[in-house]
């Protein structure tokens, strides 16, 4: 959902929005967030990565602006880099992006975000619904599919997160 506000990329990059917005082809696009379930799950996933993967040098951050194309900036709920990115607003793809659904989210809108991340070169995108406790994984080779094992996983390197540890 766009806010209807047209801005230049330069203005967007120099402005702080509350809450922060995606920048899509000159328009500000609101992100659905702010619910307890969304925030709590984001916090728990961040803690899981801090405990299990930070000691290996894998870096995780929340709500970071990522330049996915020259005209688009997306803000995943969490992003995972295998090493620290060199830029404050990265244009290098994270290894993993994690999206947490809010009650207002529509899958068609989420799929556009997933495609932006995958086209940028993100290896894997996880989508988690805190209400239904369903999870999905997406990559360029296999597309979007539901995870039925209870464990979200990436390949090369293997990163695993059992859903039971964050729900």
Provide the pLDDT for residue 116: 98
Name the percent of the chain in helix, strand, coil, to the closest 5.
Answer: 25, 30, 45
Kindly list the domain boundaries of the chain, sorted by start residue: 34-165
pLDDT digits over 52-95, tens only?
Answer: 999 999 999 999 999 999 999 999 999 999 999 999 999 999 99
Give the CATH fold of the 34-165 domain: tt1808, chain A (3.90.1570)
The mean pLDDT of 38-50, rounded to a whole number, is: 97
Q: Tokens at residue 145, please? A: 């599919």
Query: pTM for the whole thing?
Result: 0.93
Contacts 24+ apart (CB under 8 A), 4-13: 9/70, 9/71, 9/73, 12/73, 13/65, 13/73, 13/89
Those residues with Cβ within 8 angstroms of residue 90's Cβ, 6 or more apart along the chain or in another chain: 64, 66, 67, 79, 81
What's 34's DSSP letter?
Answer: -
Return the pLDDT at 106.
Answer: 87
């Amino acid at each position: 959902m766009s806010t209807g506000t047209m801005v230049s990329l330069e203005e967007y990059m120099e402005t702080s929005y509350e809450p922060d917005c995606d920048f899509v082809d000159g328009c500000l696009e609101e992100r659905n967030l702010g619910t307890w379930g969304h925030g709590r799950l984001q916090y728990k996933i961040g803690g899981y990565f801090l405990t299990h993967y930070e000691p290996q040098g894998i870096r995780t951050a929340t709500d970071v602006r990522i330049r996915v194309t020259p005209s688009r900036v997306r803000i995943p709920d969490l992003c995972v880099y295998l090493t620290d990115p060199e830029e404050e607003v990265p244009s290098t793809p994270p290894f993993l992006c994690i999206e947490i659904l809010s009650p207002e989210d529509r899958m068609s809108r989420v799929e556009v975000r997933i495609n932006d991340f995958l086209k940028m070169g993100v290896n894997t995108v996880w989508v988690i619904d805190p209400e239904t406790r369903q999870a999905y994984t997406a990559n360029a080779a296999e597309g979007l599919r539901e995870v039925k094992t209870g464990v979200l996983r990436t390949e090369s390197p293997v990163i695993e997160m059992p859903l039971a540890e964050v729900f």
